[in-house]
Amino acid sequence: MKYLLILIPMALLPLVLNDFWLSQVLTRALIMGTIALSLSFLATYLGVVSFAQVTLAGVAGYAIAYFGPNTVGVGVPLPLIVTIPLALILAMAAGAMMGYIARRSRGIYAIMITLAIGVAFFYFTRQNYVLFNGFTGFSGVIAPALGEGNWGDPKPLYFLSLIVAAICVGLVQGFVRSPLGLAVQAVRDAPGRLLALGIPTTLPIVAAFAFSGLIAGSGGILNVWFQERVSSFSVGFGPIIDILIISVIGGLRHPTGAFVGAIVYVVLDIFAIDLIDRDRFNLLIGIVLLLIIVAAPNGLTQLITDGAKKLRGGAAKSRTT
Amino acid sequence: MPLSDAHNTTANALETQGIGKRFGGFWAVKDVTFSVKPGERRAILGPNGAGKTSLFNILTGDYKASAGSIRLFGEDVTKQSIPKRINRGLRRTYQHAYLFDGLSVRDTLFLAVAGIRGGWRQVLPVRLSDPRRAEAERLAEVAGITQFLDRMVSDLSHGQRRQLEIGIALAEDPKVLLLDEPAAGLSPAERPQLSKLLLSLPKEVTVILIEHDMDIAFQTSESVTVLFNGELMAEGTPDEVMADKDVHQIYVGGAHGH
Ligand SMILES: Nc1ncnc2c1ncn2[C@@H]1O[C@H](COP(=O)(O)OP(=O)(O)OP(=O)(O)O)[C@@H](O)[C@H]1O
Ligand SMILES: [Mg+2]
């Protein structure tokens, strides 16, 4: 219910914000946050840091472009009610495959494997013209029509992203309480013990990655409608690092922290350009990241919740005295 | 042995024939032959490094036996997987608590019930209200940790973790229970409580208990097996075993005793 306290004000924001703020700050943060949520989910509940969540988002994005309207003349347009589920299923299948490949890997090894998958996908999209249209990728990927305009317009896309983000957070919370979600956390804590209970570890691992593909894929679909394009750059090193930074800023222990991280990141990204030039942005974000890691090793979200707890504790104390 | 033997009701609950486990050139367990009758309470004694835990690991399938064979209620399980043996009613606790720190007691017991009932198939349904939940609560009650059901495992005391271990092992109708030093690290106040819990287990359950605490071992067990350097050294009633010269040597005169 406390999420309504966040959702309702956010749903009212379009009344006071102009389109630039809505699109370039909030919608972008919601989309990046959703993709980062898929990473935070894996890190929090499976204990695995994946560098290939952007890849999963990309799979869904490419599916929307290939099976939908685009201006490059590649692909097979299908009806929307087929395209969207298909994109999500492909992202989940890709996630499941990744999970299966990385099923025995933890820590640095899981990072290396997922990074290798991400990089391989990046180069593959550049070289393959039949499915991915090579280097240039797809452009003119317009969101479904909505009245006069389409779902990609600032206000509709903002609402859509907000709803999708809320659904994804809800899905994560539901999943981690389900028997399968409990098994995922058990793999994180003591895989051998789970085996000793007769539950093999591969199933929860593959399921967690597939589920993360669903979340990342949802973000990927929104992203391709937001950008109206998808190319190798959407799945390259840049976005991979961006998503990682967002998750770390938000705190890998808090799935919802991904959105806090995304807002911080996007605001810095936009306003730093006015102050310093584009090339220095990486320096700035690096410094911010460093400060956050030093000041709040568990991310901003932890810092905020701790602060809130302290405030509440203080308030309670002053009430009793 | 003939196959018909598998359902022999007079079969021993557990029976080993010359089992051993080798690590490199070192036999942690060597040529151990022993049997335990259904419903029997057996204590396993032995100094540190005697091979007690390794013996359990062979029995459960955590270790592949390097030699010998194991029968569970007459059925040869030497080559069976861990889940298969669990299915046959074999359960264990771990000497060093090995639990899901990030889960609640409730969820841990739930997973134990689900896993032991049917392995991976049991974690697929997403139903919210669930009879397995009630079973998990019953286990908590038996293990005496009902008031901690919603506590995170990482927040439990050492003694409570031990109780949770036993709760997990009791899930789904165990037939043979292997308890690896359940009293280790318990406070003097907690020990009688553990003895009580062990004595309250259903009569038909066969219990094999590794225990350094002689009081608990002798209070709860009618027979004793002593391991030393991986080999079986003595076997019998507590009185017989304590009268054994070799046993006396390692426990009273020896350097290893606890
Ligand atoms: N996985 C393993 N690899 C190599 N050696 C092992 C392994 N497991 C046990 N050992 C060795 O086998 C011997 C017996 O160990 P085990 O843990 O079975 O003894 P124990 O009787 O349970 O002792 P304790 O009372 O200390 O628990 C020890 O020397 C131990 O180092
Ligand atoms: Mg031991």
Cβ distance A179 to B100 less than 8 Å, yes or no, reads: no
Domain with A250, as residue range(s), is 2-320
Chain A touched by B134 (CB under 8 Å)? no
Tell me the pLDDT tens digit for each residue of A129-149: 999 998 889 998 888 888 888
State yes or no: pLDDT of A317 exceeds 60: no
Cβ atoms A53, A38 nearer than 8 A? yes
Tally of domains in chain A: 1
Chain B partners within 8 Å of A189 (Cβ): 99-103
Chain B touched by A171 (CB under 8 Å)? no
Q: What would the mean pLDDT of A213-237 be, rounded to a whole number?
A: 95
| Complex prediction ipTM | 0.83
Chain A partners within 8 Å of B102 (Cβ): 185, 188-189
Q: CA nearest A229: which of A75, A64, A86, A19?
A: A64
State yes or no: pLDDT of A5 exceeds 90: no
Cβ distance B123 to A185 less than 8 Å, yes or no, reads: no
Q: What is the pLDDT of residue A138?
A: 94
Chain B touched by A182 (CB under 8 Å)? yes
Q: CA nearest B153: which of B106, B95, B110?
A: B106
Show me where the domains of chain B are located.
Answer: 3-253
Phi then psi dihedrals of residue A146, to 5 deg:
-150, 105
Locate B117 and state its tokens.
């009932």
Write down the residue that tokens 């204990």 correspond to: A47
Cα–Cα distance for residue pair B159/A38, rounded to 1 Å = 37
* Averaged pLDDT of chain A: 89
Cβ distance B125 to A179 less than 8 Å, yes or no, reads: yes
Cβ distance B103 to A185 less than 8 Å, yes or no, reads: yes
Q: What is the pLDDT of residue B258?
A: 44
Distance (angstroms) between ligand 2 centre and the Cα of B94 equals 9
DSSP symbols for A55-121: HHHHHHHHHHHHTS--SS--S----HHHHHHHHHHHHHHHHHHHHHHTTT--HHHHHHHHHHHHHHH
Is residue A1 very low, low, confident or very high in pLDDT (cuts 50, 70, 90)? low
Phi then psi dihedrals of residue B81, to 5 deg:
-70, 165
| Residue of A180, A190, A200 lying closest to B98 (CB–CB) | A190
- Under 8 Å CB-to-CB from B25, ≥6 apart: which residues? none
Cα–Cα distance for residue pair A280/A283, rounded to 1 Å = 5
How many Å lie between the alpha carbon of A178 and the closest alpha carbon of chain B? 6
Q: Which residues line ligand 1 (CB under 6 A)?
A: B 23, 28, 46, 48-54, 95
Q: What is the pLDDT of residue A314?
A: 58
Chain A touched by B6 (CB under 8 Å)? no
CATH number where A68 lies? 1.10.3470
Ligand with minimal distance to B57 CA: 1
Lowest-confidence segment of A239-243, A245-249, A297-301 by average pLDDT: A297-301
Chain A partners within 8 Å of B86 (Cβ): 196-198
Overall CATH class of domain B3-253? alpha beta
Distance (angstroms) between ligand 2 centre and the Cα of B80 equals 23
- Under 8 Å CB-to-CB from A1, ≥6 apart: which residues? none
Q: What string of pLDDT tens digits covers the 258 residues of chain B?
A: 444 444 455 689 999 999 999 999 899 999 999 999 999 999 999 999 999 999 999 999 999 999 999 999 999 999 998 888 988 999 999 988 789 999 999 999 999 998 887 767 777 766 656 778 888 999 999 888 999 999 999 999 988 999 999 999 998 889 999 999 998 888 888 888 888 888 888 889 999 999 888 888 888 899 999 999 999 998 999 888 888 888 877 776 544 444
Of all residues in chain A, the one with the smallest CA distance to B171 is A197
Question: Which residue pairs from B78-83 have beta carbons closer than 8 angstroms and sit at least 24 positions apart in sequence?
Answer: B82/A195, B82/A196, B82/A198, B83/A198, B83/B119
Of all residues in chain A, the one with the smallest CA distance to B122 is A179
**Atom number of ligand 1 nearest to Cα B50:** 21
Chain A touched by B126 (CB under 8 Å)? yes
Cβ neighbour number for residue A4 with a 10 Å cutoff:
10
Q: What is the pLDDT of residue A140?
A: 87
